[in-house]
Every structure is written in C-alpha cells, then in structure tokens.
C-alpha cells in the first residue's frame, strides 16, 4: 500500500455545464463513479472524498476504506476541498489531488503515479501529457502548510510554479487517461469514445 492521502475533489459547480456534470450518465454510470471505482482498486491507503453532493458521498461510504467529507462551502473554490481533504487526512508521505471529472483514469495509472512519486518522495510528482501539466498531482507531506494556505480556485498551481527545483514529471503516453470533462462539448465528444 502507498501511504498517500488521495483527496478526491467532487465539489465543483460545473459552471461550464448547465447541470452537475459528475452526476451525468457517462457510458452507463454516473461520471463520478469511474474515479471512485479506480481509487477503490488502487493501492492508496487513504481515500478521502470531498463533495457537496450527497449522491457522491453516499456512494463513497459504500466503498472500502473511504472517508467522506461534506463541503458546504464549494463556492469558495477548489481550495476549500483541498483544505477539507488535508484536515481530514492522517500523517502520510504525500497528498494526491484527484478531480472527479476524469472518467478514463485507471487504478493502474494511479498506482504508476504513486510509484513514480516514491522514486523521490521529496518531489512534486506531476503527470504530463505532451507539454501540458495534468492531474492527479502528488505533493510531499512537508508542503502541507503551503497547501493549507492556498485560496480560491487555483489549486496547487502556485505551489508548483514557485517550486521548480522539486518538480518531477511523469510522461503519460495515452492522453485519454487524464482527459477531464469540463464542457458540454467535452461530454458529447468523449462519451462515445
């Protein structure tokens, strides 16, 4: 098992869609279930779902070893989910932040990113598709205070920008595995892939 706290962020407002995208049917099941099911099959020891939505929290409670955290302040942005997730985690080697709108992610990719992180657990492990940074990113535990100080909807990007010497990139050959669904166009395009 990897001593990683995987914080699954499922509190978004779906501003670019006219409804909660995480609850939409995607290839036969709600989109959020793909991420939770992948984490459930992974070797991560701490699985924390932060959500504003009871349907997601209820599903997570039915899975093995998941902790659920209600985010009643999702209008404050992604930073609120990060704060709640970290504050509900135990001591660990690192924090993985995984958005719940990545229906193609697999447990084996999650395990690969964790294994990559453990090659140098003082680094920030960043998945990269071509030249673009992606998620899920793993931050080492010693950056906990920095993570707790972020605000708004920028997530950990500022910490990544201000720590170039400790960044390590894992190249992901199949970009579909890290595809997120942000817009109606994304949803239409990828639900038939």
What's the pLDDT tens digit per position in 37-67?
999 999 999 999 999 999 999 999 999 899 9
The per-residue pLDDT for 14 is 54
Q: Exposed (0-12), middle (13-18) or buried (19+): which is 36, by Cβ within 10 Å? A: buried
Residue with tokens 């080697």: 93
3-state SS assignment for residue 21: helix
Spatial separation of the C-alpha atoms in residues 52 and 64, rounded to whole Å: 20
Q: Which CA distances in Å does 60 have to 11, 47, 65, 188?
A: 14, 9, 9, 26
Please determine, looking at this structure, whether the domain spanning 2-190 carries the CATH number 3.90.550.10.
yes
% residues pLDDT > 70 (the chain):
96
Instruction: Provide mean pLDDT across the span 161-188.
Output: 94
Nearest Cα residue to 53 out of 71, 26, 29: 71
Residue 2 contacts residue 92 (beta carbons within 8 Å)? no
Residue 43 contacts residue 2 (beta carbons within 8 Å)? yes
Spatial separation of the C-alpha atoms in residues 166 and 121, rounded to whole Å: 10
Instruction: Provide mean pLDDT across the span 151-173.
Output: 91
Residue with tokens 């459930």: 40
Instruction: Give the chain's mean pLDDT.
Output: 93
The per-residue pLDDT for 17 is 63
pLDDT digits (tens, 9 = 90+) for 11-31: 875 555 666 889 999 999 999
Structure tokens at 117: 């992180």
For the chain, which residues make up each domain, given as ranges?
2-190
Q: The whole model's pTM is what?
A: 0.94
Nearest Cα residue to 111 out of 34, 8, 4: 4
Structure tokens at 10: 């499922």
Specify the higher pLDDT residue, 43 or 182: 43
For 71-100, b where at least 16 C-beta lie within 10 A, e where not — what string?
Answer: beebeebbbbbbbbbbebbeebbbbbbbbb
Instruction: Provide mean pLDDT across the span 115-136.
Output: 96
Spatial separation of the C-alpha atoms in residues 49 and 68, rounded to whole Å: 5
The per-residue pLDDT for 16 is 57
The per-residue pLDDT for 75 is 72
């Amino acid at each position: 098992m990897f001593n990683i706290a995987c914080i699954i962020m499922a509190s978004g407002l779906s501003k670019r869609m006219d409804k909660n995208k995480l609850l939409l049917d995607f290839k036969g099941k709600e989109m959020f279930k793909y991420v939770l099911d992948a984490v459930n099959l992974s070797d991560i020891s701490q699985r924390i779902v932060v959500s504003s939505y009871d349907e997601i929290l209820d599903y997570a409670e039915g899975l093995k070893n998941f902790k659920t955290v209600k985010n009643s302040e999702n209008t404050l942005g992604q930073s609120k989910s990060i704060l709640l997730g970290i504050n509900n985690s135990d001591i660990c080697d690192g924090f993985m932040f995984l958005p719940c709108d990545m229906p193609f992610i697999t447990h084996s990719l999650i395990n690969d990113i964790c294994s990559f992180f453990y090659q140098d657990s003082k680094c920030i492990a960043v998945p990269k598709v071509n030249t673009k940074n992606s998620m899920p990113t793993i931050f080492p535990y010693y950056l906990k205070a920095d993570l707790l100080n972020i605000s708004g909807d920028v997530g950990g990007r500022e910490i990544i920008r201000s720590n170039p010497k400790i960044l390590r990139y894992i190249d992901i050959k199949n970009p579909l595995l890290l595809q997120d669904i942000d817009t109606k166009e994304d949803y239409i395009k990828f639900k038939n892939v």
